[in-house]
Each structure stands twice: as C-alpha cells, then as structure tokens.
Amino acid sequence: MLYPSPLGYNVLPDMPDFKAVVFDLDNTLVDFSRMKQAAVEAAAEAMVDAGLDAPREELIQGIYEVYQERGIEAQDVFNRFLESRLGKVDYKILAAAVVAYRRAKTGNMRLFPGVRWTLLELMRAGVDIAILTDAPGLQAWTRLVEMNLHQYFDLVITLDDTGETKPSRKAFETVLQRLGLPAEQTLMVGDWAERDMVGAQNVGMKTAFARYGALEKTVPPGVDYVLEKPTELVAVVKP
C-alpha cells in the first residue's frame, strides 16, 4: 500500500531509481514469530511430558522471559530456564525440549506469501538484493538454506560482520559500503520501526515498512512506503 503525498509518503510518479533493496530477514522474509511461537509451545509441552510438574502456559511464559533477557537468538535458553526453575539442568527434560523445539521449528518455518516471486522480479529487474540482519551468521544462513533462499543473496550482513545490532549506523554503513551504492539509491525493507526504519533513515536510505510482518502495526513516522504484503514491493522498485 502506497500512501498519497498529503499523508507524507512517496507516490509512484516521484519514486527514486533504486539500485538495491536491503531486506531484514526475520518477520520480513521469514515468518519468524509464527515459527518461534510454535517451537516454544512444543518445547513446553515436551517438558511436561518428560516430567516437569508445571502448567504449560506458565512454562511458555518463563521461556519467553529468558528470551527477553538473553536475546531472541540465544542458544542456551532452555538450560537457563531449567536452572532457574529447578536449580539445575535435568538433561532428560532438556533433551525433550530441544528435540521438540527443533522439530516444530522445521515444520513451521514459512516464507510470507509472495516473497519468492518478489525476489525473482527484483532479480529480473537487475536490482541488487541484500540482507541486513541482527541474527548471528550461522543462524541467518541456516534459515536462508532451510527456506531455499540462499541462492538469491550474494550479500548477507549479519551480527558477526558488524558486531553491532540495528539501528547502529555501523550496520547500515557496512551494507552500503559492501554494495558500493549511495544511500539514496538503496531501499531498506523491514518490520521493526525502531531498528530497521530509524537506522536506515539515519544514514539516508529510503525505507519501506513491512507492516504485514510487524508485531506493532502502527506506521512509524517518516517512512517512504508501507507494504501490506511482500509483492507490493515490486511496484515500488519497478514502476
């Protein structure tokens, strides 16, 4: 959805000539929230089945609290949760949680509808496409390979490349430097207003808010485009 100029958003006739599109990964290309919810719920249920005496919903809430403390990409969440809950790691319960989590993650990892078609259209148009993500390198590439997206992206900038998370200027300046393009010819697409949109605006990039994947649907101020579905991006880049 492209808002008319009275609301402060660009319209198609005044669009710049974009040479590159930079995507966030989670909740922009991959429906990460859906996958994470299903995987955490499966892990909690497996803990109960393995003998942890606690209500399922209480376990889910506790696991998410550890994620909030440690970061959504943390790999030691179940260990720390069990330590806080039991005073130790019960390896039977831990193993049950890990196996259930991995199975649910694999079964619930999905692209948003239209993502693959959108990437193909951008490639046909000769537009460079890249990823800028706060995920560590292995986790980012694992998701790309699982979704069979790895062949679309020659440039993937992760936390391992910059050492800083968005909205750090370093993260965005790194991707611009590697692309070899000026900021005004580069469009950032992301679901997180405070990180993706603000960070891109701070270095002069144009912005497209992926509202279809955002947890907070309110349109952030100053964005150039608002996307209700991934396929709308093609009209932005190829008027």
The answer to whether residue 154 is catalytic is: no
For residue 90, indicate whether it is catalytic.
no
Q: For the chain, how many residues are written? A: 239
Q: Active site residue: 14, 17, 24, 76, which one?
A: 24
Is residue 43 within 8 A of residue 81, CB to CB? The reply is no
Q: What is d(CA 95, CA 115) in angstroms, rounded to the nearest whole number? A: 34
Residue in 26, 31, 134, 224 annotated catalytic: 26
Residues in a beta bridge with 22: 130, 188
How many Å from the N-terminal Cα to the C-terminal Cα in the chain?
Answer: 14
Token pair recorded at residue 225: 């485009």
**CA–CA distances in Å: residue 134 to residues 10, 17, 93, 115, 217:** 28, 27, 30, 20, 21
Q: How far is it, in rounded angstroms, from Cα 117 to Cα 113?
A: 9
Which residues are designated catalytic?
24, 26
